[in-house]
Structure 1
Amino acid sequence: MLVGYARVSTAEQHLDPQLAQLHAAGADKVFSEKVSGTTAKRPQLLAAIEFAREGDVFVVTRLDRFARSSVDLHNLIQTLSNKGVGFRCIEQAGVDTTTSSGKLMLGMLGAVAEFETALRAERQAEGIAKAKADGRYQGRKATIDPAEVRRLLGEGMKPSAVAKALGIGRASVYRLAA
């Protein structure tokens, strides 16, 4: 059985192109979700992996829809492999863990994807540093009013109660109290 998985990161993006590709590839069962984040925060991915049985092949359109790093990719592939489930990627031709050359291709593409992610992070850090140097980067606006925290503490309210009342972390209250 071919088990498909499709994912987009935001509600504004559309799953339709991925779903069409998965169905055209012959996927018998498709799991999909509109969510960004780690594997633990992607319930349909976990459900798809749980659903897959020995002899099945897990199919995705692109590696970046499946894993967030080469470590994540290899961990997910290992989980599938431990269950006796193969892995195939439609758009990255040759990625098919049911073949030796497909396993090699998967390793190379995973390394390239991680390299691209690292480059993107470096460019972002450089952009932030430049913006800070130019005085254009202020960071996000403060969400905690220190005066309000100190006022409530001064009235005898316990730190946990202050945190709950203001909807902030208790550690933030302690940090401001010091």
Structure 2
Amino acid sequence: MIYGYARVSTDGQTLDAQREALICAGADEVFAETASGAKFDRAELAKVLALVGEGDTLVVTRLDRLARSTINLLSILDSLSHKRAMFRSLSEGWADTTTPHGRLTVTIVGGVAEFERELIRARTGEGRSRAKARGQSLGRRPALTRHQQDEVRRRKLAGEAVREIARSYNVSASTISRIPS
């Protein structure tokens, strides 16, 4: 069975052209939705990915309709591969796992993406190590200055309610509770 998947980002766009192209490409059933590509919890995509099985093919008009990043695309392709299903993009001829050439190309692209992920991870780790060595603090800045934290400690010791202290600094009660007395 050939399944089509179509997506547009906003309500002002139309799915008609994608539906027509997918039907012309032989799609027996088309799953379509209006959702941002950045969202990973797209209902229609989840439905079609759950439905696709061995010997089936998932077809899209363009790769950006299916995935927002290379990592996301490769994850979806890996999922299809484990189900022994195929994938085909109508616009990007290289992204066609129904042919040996397409499977080779997707495998090479996957290898390059994995290599790139490892390089990014290594560079990020090195940067964090250098920052720590310079004494730079990592992460989010504290909501309260050291002086304010000292005042909070004094007020808590004096028995003032945590909620009252939090209101006076315009922070949550949990922020005040985390400051040791």
- The normalised TM-score by structure 1 is 0.60
Aligned position for 2:93: 93
Offset of residue 109 of structure 1: 6.8
3-state secondary structure, aligned to 1:78: helix
**Number of equivalences:** 126
1:30 maps to 30
Q: Secondary structure at the match of 1:12?
A: coil
Q: Give the superposed CA RMSD.
A: 3.0
Q: Match for residue 84 of structure 1?
A: 84
Question: Is the Cα–Cα contact under 8 Å of residues 86 and 98 in structure 1 kept in the other structure?
Answer: yes
Q: Does 1:7 align with 2:3?
A: no
Q: CA, structure 1 residues 56+157, in 2 after alignment: closer, same or farther (shift >3 Å)? A: same
TM-score between the two structures when normalised by the length of structure 2: 0.59
CA–CA distance in 2 between the matches of 1:35 and 1:92? 22
| 1:38-53 aligned within 5 A | 38=38, 40-53=40-53
Task: Measure how far apart 1:173 and its partner are.
Answer: 2.3
**Per-residue Cα deviation, 1:132-174 (whole angstroms, up to 9, x for no partner):** xxxxxxxxxxxxxxxxxxxxxxxx6949xx8xxxxxxxx9525
SS at match of 2:40: helix
2:37·2:64 contact (CA, 8 Å) conserved in 1? no
CA distance in structure 1 between the partners assigned to 2:163 and 2:31 by the alignment: 47
Write the distance in 2 (CA, Å) between the matches of 1:48 and 1:42.
10
Distance 1:172 1:10, change over 3 A: farther
Deviation at residue 20 of structure 1 after TM alignment = 0.8
CA offsets 1:78-109 (integer angstroms, 9 cap, x no match): 10111111000001123211222112433567
| Equivalence for 2:140 | none
Shift of residue 64 of structure 1?
A: 0.6
Identity within the alignment, %: 40
Map of 2:156 onto structure 1: none
Q: Is the 8 A contact 1:3 1:56 kept in 2?
A: yes
Aligned to 1:173: 172
Question: Distance in 1 between the 2:103 and 2:76 partners?
Answer: 14
Following superposition, which runs of at least 4 residues in structure 1 exceed 3 angstroms of deviation?
A: 37-40, 104-112, 156-159, 174-178
Secondary structure of the corresponding residue to residue 41 of structure 1: coil
Distance in 2, Cα, partners of 1:172 & 1:104: 55
Q: List aligned pairs for 1:59-138, cutoff 5 A.
A: 59-106=59-106
Please give the alpha-carbon distance, in whole angstroms, between the structure 2 residues aligned to 1:109 and 1:13: 30
Q: For 1:105-141, what per-residue CA distance to the aligned partner results, in whole angstroms no more than 9, with x for missing partners?
A: 33567779xx9xxxxxxxxxxxxxxxxxxxxxxxxxx
Range that drifts further, 38-47 or 98-107 = 98-107
Is the contact made by 1:4 and 1:27 (CA closer than 8 Å) also made in structure 2? yes
Paired with 2:11 and 2:36, the residues of 1 have a C-alpha distance of 10
Alignment partners' CA distance in 1, 2:30 and 2:171 = 43
Paired residues of 2:95 and 2:106 also in contact (CA < 8 A): yes
Judging changes above 3 Å, is the alpha-carbon distance between structure 1 residues 89 and 172 closer, same or farther for their aligned structure 2 residues?
farther
